[in-house]
Amino acid sequence: MLERLKEFASEFFVTGDPLIYGADVAIGITMIAIVTVLTYFKKWGWLWRNWLTTVDHKKIGIMYIIASIIMLFRGGVDALMMRLQLAMPNMDFLHPEHYNQVFTTHGTIMILFMAMPFMFGLFNVIVPLQIGARDVAFPFLNALSFWLFFLGAMLFNLSFVIGGSPDAGWLSYPPLSELSHSPGVGQNFYIWGIQISGIGSLATGINFMVTIIKMRAPGMKWMKLPMFTWSVFSTCIIILFAFPILTVTLALLFLDRFAGAHFFTLDLGGNPMMYINLIWMWGHPEVYIVVLPAFGVFSEIVSTFSRKKLFGYKSMVFAMLIISFLSFFTWAHHFFTMGSGADVNAFFAVTTMLIAIPTGVKIFNWLFTMYRGRIRMATPMMWTIAFIPCFIVGGMTGVLLSVAPADFQFHNSYFLIAHFHQVLIGGVVFGYFAGLYYWWPKMFGFQLEEKLGKWAFWTWNIGFYVCFMPQYAVGLMGMTRRLSTYGWDTGWWELNFVSTIGAFLMGVGFLFQVAQIADGIRKYKTLKASGDPWDGRTLEWSIPSPAPEYNFAVTPRGDDVDEWWEEKERRAKGIYPPEPVYEPIHMPKNSSIPFIMSVFWFVAGFGFVFGWLWMAILGLAGVGICMIARSFSYDTDYYIPVDEIKRTEASLRGSV
């Protein structure tokens, strides 16, 4: 019996690598510290009532962003480990199997568990405030979406210490992801972590699309929407059509592994290329899913800090919608080298070039907005300006890769690595950092000091160029992706060493950001912000910071794109709105069901990962019970009385 337990434990837990043991210790210490602090300060009830069961879109947005920053740390550590392994020839820091696991988890975490939740966090915090709504269309579904994302991410990350991480690449191409090449459970962690999280992402897309369509303030017609809200709407269109493809693709791959199907094997009529087509039919629109909201962030920041209306509003709107449409017609450029034929290659080359046009339109619109503007170089604006040259270079190299004959040389080289990091870091990460700094006062009621923020900005940006510019050169010199080591005779080591230095500089930039946030929390009272610290233009700046539970005591109007700016102009002329007439506000009640249902999804996913059907059935049964409990929940909302609204507004009025 003891021997069987030892054998089970040796297969269940990841052993044999000092880095894994270090992670075990770090996880254990962190968990003990969290439990100790919550117990010592008697915060378990507070945690349950205010966060674990909340349906408040603002708190859900904050939890998304916190989770994203944690995932940025995890994915960043993976990146630094890879760069250490490649810093010098013949390094033995990571053995090849562990290296494969690290680059697989790095890509998956950064796209699906860092960029996506950061994006959803900004959705949640800002969109209802920008359109004058008191919540999202489906608050219960919004909470469920977050907890599905979070527990899906935790299931995926658990593979690092239990069972073993996936090692077939961040998109898990067959046959590497089939049982023949990945017989362990790592690939099952990949499938079910993403599957559970993806359900939440799809639900979020539906929720925000309905919110924007149905819950806009009176007078806010389509061409009066703030640009960030337009970017969210465009993104939700893509989510609605792209994420079902991912769901089906991963389900078919799991059937291959679990039930002996042959969708993506060469046996019995299967075809691995079908998987690659399906995954990129989701994967390339996914790039635009994460970058379009960043474009919306930049539009808001450029207009605010240039103190001008956004140049070419309608062209920006149409550019976003065109990108949403064209994003579904470019996927085959990821495998020009498969031999599709000249006609297919030409079609996807042309569509890839075409999609660069609306992106170029945006760049010119931002530049023309800044032209002759009274620009203030606050931290959000610095990240925005840094994005422009970075994204131009990324876009130009993307156009180079769209040329099929050239791509035969660039494909799978480090030139491609440099290109997509230039787009995803320079476009997505810089954009979300800009949004975080811009809307931080709205979320937390205080501003972050600029000094540490500028240190973070410069170390991030210098580190970025030092890291990725050499990768273009080393890619043209013949270094291919997924190499875990190389020899002295290749001539690559100098550029790789410089690239590693740049990666660590970006890590230092992240530490400056953590220090900036910690310093801001410490100095919270002295940094307290007004409701409108940036002299903003849209409705979120018309209410106190942080926003009250109900957002708006009286539903505002949205007659102009920059409604709050126009209102301030009217007040400057002595034209004030009438005294508000308060009415009871209808609000949703907190619910524990989303959290509990997501825990059951986690249990079901864990059971499927290890092939324990009893656990999977138990988890799915729990999900079903939660759904039934929700269907019989009638006491789901309440009204905030007028007296309470008046007291709240009186206490907050000084901060508006």
Place of tokens 């138990």: 618
> Do 539 and 131 touch, CB atoms closer than 8 A?
yes
Contacts with 638 (C-beta within 8 Å, 6 or more apart), sequence order: 586, 587, 589
On whether residue 347 sits in a domain, the answer given is: yes
In the chain, the number of structural domains is 1
* Average confidence (pLDDT) over 263-274: 90
Any idea what DSSP says for residue 449? P
At 6 the pLDDT is 73
pLDDT above 70 for 648: yes
Distances (CA, A) of 206 to 84, 200, 297, 435: 42, 10, 21, 23
CA–CA–CA angle 340, 235, 65 (5° rounding): 115
pLDDT in tens, 313-353: 999 999 999 999 999 999 999 888 887 888 999 999 999 99
| CA gap 142, 157 in Å, rounded | 23
Q: How far is CA 606 from the centre of its chain?
A: 24
Task: Check whether 3 has a pLDDT greater than 80.
Answer: no
What's the CA gap between 340 and 336, in Å, rounded?
7
Q: Residue 334 is part of a domain; what is its CATH number?
A: 1.20.210.10
> Does the residue 406 lie in any domain?
yes
User: Does any domain span residue 560?
Assistant: no
**Does residue 423 form part of some domain?**
yes
pLDDT of residue 24: 82
pLDDT at 341: 86
Mean pLDDT rounded to a whole number for the chain? 94
CB 89 within 8 A of CB 488: yes
Is the pLDDT score of 654 beyond 60? no
DSSP H or E run through 174: none
Whether the per-residue pLDDT at 582 is higher than 70: the answer is yes
| Residue 362, token pair as written in the block | 């945006």
Quick check: 131 and 216 in contact, CB under 8 A?
Answer: yes
Are the CB atoms for 324 and 292 separated by under 8 Å?
yes
Output the CA–CA distances (angstroms, integers) from residue 182 to 57, 153, 168, 381, in the order listed.
40, 21, 8, 46
Give residue 653's pLDDT.
66
At 447, is the secondary structure helix, strand, or coil?
coil
pTM, two decimals, is: 0.96
- Determine, yes or no, domain membership for 609: no
Q: How many residues does the chain have?
A: 656
Predicted local confidence at residue 655, as pLDDT: 43
Give 25's DSSP letter: H
- Is 83 domain-assigned? no
Cα separation, 7 vs 9, whole angstroms: 5
- Give residue-wise pLDDT tens across range 136-154: 999 999 999 999 999 999 9
Q: Which of 288, 498, 499 is nearest to 395 (CA)?
A: 288
**What average pLDDT does range 556-579 have in this prediction?**
93
pLDDT > 70: percent of the chain: 99
Write down the pLDDT at residue 540. 96
**Is residue 10 a part of any domain in this protein?**
no
Domain membership of residue 67 (yes or no) is no
Give residue 328's domain range.
297-302+314-482+501-532
